[in-house]
Amino acid sequence: MKKIVMVGDLHISERQIRSRVDDTANTCLEVLNWIVEFANEHDADILCTGDIFTNPIFGNRFRQRVKSILRCVKGGFQTLSGNHGGDVEGEDLCTVRYTELGNFFQDGYFQPFGRDPCNPDSGEVQLYELPHYVNECEVHFISGLNAYEKEPHIGAVSPGRIVGLVTHHWAADAFGDTLVCYPDQMKARFPSLQFMLCGHDHAFHEPYRSRDGVLVLRPGSVMRTDSGQSSNRIPGVYLWDPSQGMDGFSYHRIAACRPYEEVFHAEIKAVDKESANAVSRFVTLMQSQAGRIMDVDSVVQAMYAAVPEADKPFIQKDLLANGFLSVANN
């Protein structure tokens, strides 16, 4: 039986995160490459909890680097849609088709999981099939729950045949977040439910069993944007061998990741409000001129020329940090 690599939120981003010492874009690519190679090594499919992209990708060069890694995937790569702007706009699942994630769905690099976010009104549901999971006579399935969905859709499959659920939700109420999914409520919905893989929560938590016996797995974000005790962990993935049942889960650290102190600044740097406001104005300018165009490499220099002189030093520094070398000599 095929194995499954279960991955938390990827948060692929070409933009440099100010709190990080490392190069954000290169780290994203290194981590993604490790996951793909790990899955190929174990002849496994990949299931992801969503938030594939933190933001839309501006540079086509970076987008092509991501796609070149994904072309090496030998099995399937199914993912939910998350709540960040690279996956969905606002809280409307129908917008996924216009986002960065939708672009990758349409090009075939990812397969939608659960309710198809690129065609949410069709009623089509993508499940992960687990043949002969319980015995040789019955086929069982894993279902998915995208961000902003209240209940997973399963189509024509009987609820009693769902043994696993992948969600972009907290496993319990926290910080007043609206994206919450309670294991025992899902157990009542799916009587055969045995495990849940939960995303959205960036922190790693040890596996536990709910009151009704559901195994809850929370691997956390692979880009480790969490804080607190779990920050010192090396991010990892779960590898599941379904032939071993609930004893078939193992946690594997991502070799491409480094210790927390090598990744983040010791102290959070104060934000330069003047610089942040200048960047915000430039982003607004890009949005007003580029609309839904994903690749704005060809127009960045023209838009930069229209920036007020007082903003140019801040904009140029931010653009250079994100790979827009065309403004280097302006």
Q: Is the pLDDT of residue 39 over 90?
A: yes
Question: What is the mean pLDDT of the segment spanning 129-151?
Answer: 80
Write out the two tokens for 302. Answer: 């023209």
Q: Is residue 225 part of a domain?
A: yes
**Helices vs strands, H then E, count in the chain:** 8, 14
The whole-number pLDDT of residue 320 equals 65
Tokens of 71: 């072309």
Average pLDDT over the chain, rounded to an integer: 83
Tens of pLDDT, residues 292-312 = 444 455 566 777 777 778 777
pLDDT band at 286 (very low <50, low <70, confident <90, very high): low
Statement to judge: residues 151 and 296 lie in one domain: no
104 within domain boundaries: yes
Per-residue pLDDT band for 134 (boundaries 50, 70, 90) equals low
Residue 230 and residue 307 in one domain: no
My answer on whether 258 and 279 are in the same domain is: no
What does the pLDDT read at residue 60?
Answer: 86
Q: For 110, which DSSP code?
A: S
- The verdict on 10 and 89 lying in the same domain is yes
Q: Tokens representing 329?
A: 């000599």
Residues 47-62 have a mean pLDDT of 90
Q: Is the pLDDT of residue 53 over 80?
A: yes
The answer to whether residues 307 and 250 belong to one domain is: no
Q: What is the structure's pLDDT at 293? A: 47
pLDDT confidence of residue 324: 59
Percentage above 90 pLDDT, the chain: 45
Is 282 contained in some domain? Answer: yes
pLDDT digits (tens, 9 = 90+) for 220-248: 888 865 444 455 678 899 999 998 999 99
240 and 123 share one domain: yes
Q: What CA–CA distance (Å, rounded) separates 280 from 148?
A: 27
Residue 246 is predicted with a pLDDT of: 92
**Domains identified in the chain, total number:** 2
Indicate if the pLDDT at residue 282 is higher than 80.
no
Q: Which of 236, 263, 290 is the last residue of a domain?
A: 263
Tens digits of per-residue pLDDT, 80-125? 999 998 999 888 888 898 899 999 999 999 999 988 888 767 777 8
* % of residues, the chain, pLDDT over 70: 79
Give the domain-ending residue among 263, 282, 307: 263
Reported pTM: 0.80
Say if residue 8 is in the same domain as residue 72: yes
Tell me: pLDDT of 287 over 80: no
**What's the whole-number mean pLDDT along residues 193-197?**
96
CATH of the domain at 166: 3.60.21.10
Going by the DSSP 8-state scheme, the letter that residue 291 receives in this structure is T
Separation between Cα atoms, residue 257 and residue 5, nearest integer Å? 17
Local confidence band at 192 (pLDDT 50, 70, 90 cut-offs): very high
Same domain, 241 and 277: no
Residue 132 lies in a domain: yes
Q: What is the pLDDT of residues 55-85, one digit of tens each?
A: 888 788 899 999 999 999 999 999 999 999 8
Instruction: Report CA-CA distances (Å) from 184 to 193, 199, 218, 293.
Output: 9, 17, 16, 43
Has residue 159 been placed in a domain?
yes
Of 212, 244, 263, the residue at which a domain comes to its end is: 263
At 139, is the pLDDT very low, low, confident or very high (cuts 50, 70, 90)?
confident
**Rounded Cα distance, 240 and 45, in Å:** 10
Per-residue model confidence as pLDDT tens digits over 247-271: 999 999 998 888 777 787 766 545 4
* 150 lies in some domain: yes
Domain for residue 289, yes or no? yes
- Do residues 249 and 190 share a domain? yes
Record the tokens describing residue 136, joined without a space.
Answer: 């040789």
| Residues of the domain holding 87 | 3-263
* Residue 168 and residue 305 in one domain: no
CA pair distance 134, 110, nearest whole angstrom: 28
The two tokens of residue 213 are: 């016996």
Strand, helix or coil for residue 124: coil
Question: Residue 328: its pLDDT value, please?
Answer: 52
268 found inside a domain: no
Put the strands of the sheet holding 139-145 in their side by side order: 128-131, 139-145, 162-167, 195-198, 215-218, 205-209
Looking at residue 275, its pLDDT comes to 61
Helices 24-41 and 60-70, packing angle to 10 deg: 10
**Mean pLDDT, residues 312-327:** 65
Residues 197, 89, single domain; the answer is yes
Helix (H) or strand (E) holding 208: strand 205-209
Same domain? For 190 and 322 the reply is no
